[in-house]
Amino acid sequence: MWPPVKSSGMTRADAPVTPPVVLTVAGSDSGGGAGIQADIKTIEACGGFGTSAITSVTAQNTTGVQGQHLLPIDQIEAQIEAVTGDFDVAAVKTGMLATSDVIDLVVEHAADLPNLVVDPVMVAASGDRLLAAEAEDAYEALIAEAAVVTPNADEAAVLTGRDVDNPETAERAGRDLVEMGADSALVKGGHVPGDAVVDTLVTEDGVTTFRHDRIDTEATHGSGCTLSSAIATQLAHGDDLPTAVGDSIDLLASAVRYNLDVGEGPGAVHHLVQTRNDAARHPTSEAVERAVSALVEADVSTLVPERGMTVAGATPYAETPDAVAAVEGRIARTMDGVRPNRGVRPNRGVRFGASTTVARALLAAREHDPAIRFAVDCRLTDAVEDALASLDGRVAAYDPGERPDGVSDDATAQWGVDRAFGTSDGTPVAVVGREGVGTDGRAMLLAADADDLVSQVETVHETVRDDG
């Protein structure tokens, strides 16, 4: 490998980048989870350049709002004009506007505020009111200037006079907001009861719904700010509205699941969750490669199924198989004499999305314990099953014969891992499907760390070999 080229004392050429500029007009949250702070974090995480016009300063933390100070209108206006007068602003989002005077100010400047995303902040997640009662009616003029307005169910009810308690009433409220002049309305379903969260996007052309599983947590501080900021930034990048909204909802779902456990009250959403996850892709791939090399070196051929062995590793916040790195083509047993002193070899390299069966099974395990990041599927024989008892941890099992009719053969392992975890007292180190899977069953070993996974496989392999 060539060493890096070093300077000989000359100045270096700059290499500027030009991200889209996004302006947030909102209040400051001293607790860092919502408001301007959440907006800037999210805008930068989504590839934009964040600018701001602060409307109000709050003394706030995870337990609630202790104080609030509205900035003078002329100071708010000066911030807006300073940003729009210098930057090529590509999108704007509003958050806490506090009073009708501030709302009117934004309306006056609407012609200079492209891709305007209006998040009608009225009440904090803690229940503290963030909008003067007299200002509610003033929102109608701002809604008429919005590219998209993003109320939750409670805010939609205030703005339209319509109770929102299911997707149907959410759609009707969204149509009301479009009739007020908004180009589109996203009525959020987080405050609507149900196992699934259904967000409803209404435009003059139709309705699109976005559904995802509800996360069992109270740590949703900053969720509305994060979503609206993400939508604004995606629009600034040039995405069409359904794509901008859908991608932003996916980001928020991950940000809520992997929330930040900070403060004495409910934590905040994880604004940088996708950025952190993307940054972990290379280290995760390297960890899988190291595990593969170690297993090849240890010649764990006694544990390699006829179909081959898959080693897989998930990024810290993986939600889909394309965030799981695995051996492409699996690890296979070699024929005698093909590679002297070696009994197994990887068919190809490691890449993300290479596995579906093991990746989905790993993701199923992570639904129960998100700390699990690595998995390997092994041959299951009587000797291997006995050897699993040598591991330091529980071994859970499922019967593939009990698989529901709607579960395909390819999804059996995913269903089985979910089933095994649901009946296990704590996180197992291995899950076995004893009957009806492949030619010799399936044993899947699980670990939070790649080195621990290798150690577990080697322990089982040595036990099988010694007993044999």
Mean predicted confidence (pLDDT) in 62-90? 95
| CA 184 – CA 204 distance, rounded (Å) | 7
**Residue 110, φ and ψ in degrees, nearest 5:** -60, -30
Averaged pLDDT, 234-259: 97
Is the distance from CB of 424 to CB of 399 less than 8 angstroms?
Answer: no
Average the pLDDT over each of 65-69, 313-317, 333-337, 347-351 and give the range with the smallest value.
Answer: 333-337
Average pLDDT over residues 288-297: 91
Q: What is the mean pLDDT of residues 200-217?
A: 95
CA-CA-CA-CA dihedral for 280, 283, 285, 287, to nearest 10: -130
- Copy the structure tokens of residue 384: 């291997």
- 260-to-157, 255, 268, 271 alpha-carbon distances in Å: 30, 9, 5, 9
Q: What confidence tier does 279 reach under pLDDT thresholds 50, 70, 90?
A: very high
CA–CA gap between residue 37 and residue 40 (Å, rounded):
5
Going by pLDDT thresholds of 50, 70 and 90, the confidence category of residue 339 is very low
Identify which of 283, 282, 280 has the alpha carbon closest to the alpha carbon of residue 254: 280
pLDDT band for 7, please (50, 70, 90 cuts).
low
Q: What is residue 124's predicted lDDT score, i.e. its pLDDT? A: 59
Instruction: Tell me the pLDDT tens digit for each residue of 47-59.
Output: 999 999 999 999 9
pLDDT of 338 reads 37
Of 88, 86, 107, whose CA–CA distance to 25 is shortest?
107
Maximum C-alpha span of the chain = 84
The predicted model gives 219-235 an average pLDDT of: 96
Q: What pLDDT is stored for residue 341 in this prediction?
A: 44
What does the alpha-carbon distance between residue 262 and residue 267 come to, in Å, rounded to a whole number?
Answer: 5
Report pLDDT for 138.
86
Q: DSSP assignment, residue 126?
A: T
Question: What would the mean pLDDT of 12-37 be, rounded to a whole number?
Answer: 96
Yes or no: say if 310 and 357 are a contact pair by the CB < 8 Å rule: yes
Instruction: Give the residue among 43, 141, 55, 45 at the shortest CA–CA distance from 90.
Output: 43
Give the residue from 250, 247, 271 showing the smallest Cα distance to 259: 271
pLDDT of the residue at 80: 98
Say if residue 340's pLDDT is above 90.
no
**Which has more confidence, 96 or 8?**
96
135 and 123 Cβ atoms separated by less than 8 Å: no
Does pLDDT of 160 surpass 50? yes
| pLDDT score at 345 | 61
Does the pLDDT value for residue 183 go beyond 90?
yes
Instruction: Looking at mean pLDDT, say which of 10-14, 114-118, 120-124, 382-386 comes out highest.
Output: 114-118
376-399 average pLDDT score: 91
Give 320 or 355, the one with higher predicted confidence.
320
The percentage of the chain sitting over the pLDDT mark of 90, rounded to a whole number, equals 71
Whether the Cβ atoms of residue 284 and residue 325 lie closer than 8 Å to each other: yes
Rounded Cα gap, residues 160 and 294, in angstroms: 62
Mean per-residue pLDDT over the chain, rounded = 90
Q: Is 211 helix (H, G, I), strand (E, B) or coil?
A: strand
How many angstroms separate the CA atoms of 120 and 443, rounded? 51
* Partners of 333 in beta bridges: 344
Which pLDDT score, from 0 to 100, does residue 349 have?
77
Across 234-262, average pLDDT: 97
Q: Please state which of the ranges 100-104, 150-154, 427-431, 432-436 shows the lowest mean pLDDT.
A: 432-436
Most confident residue range from 97-101, 174-178, 335-339, 421-425: 174-178
Q: How far apart are CA 187 and CA 361, in angstroms?
A: 34
For residue 96, pLDDT beyond 90: yes
Of residues 387 and 138, more confidently modeled: 387
* pLDDT category of residue 439 using cuts at 50, 70 and 90: very low
Give the angle 118-120-124 at the CA atoms, nearest 5°.
Answer: 135
Q: How many Cβ atoms sit within 10 Å of the Cβ of residue 153?
A: 20
User: In the prediction, which pLDDT does 26 show?
Assistant: 97
pTM of the complete model: 0.89
| Percent of the chain surpassing pLDDT 70 | 90
Average confidence (pLDDT) over 33-46:
97
Of the pLDDT bands very low, low, confident and very high (cuts 50, 70, 90), residue 332 is low
Look at residues 159, 195, 205, 197 and name the one whose alpha carbon lies nearest to residue 180: 159
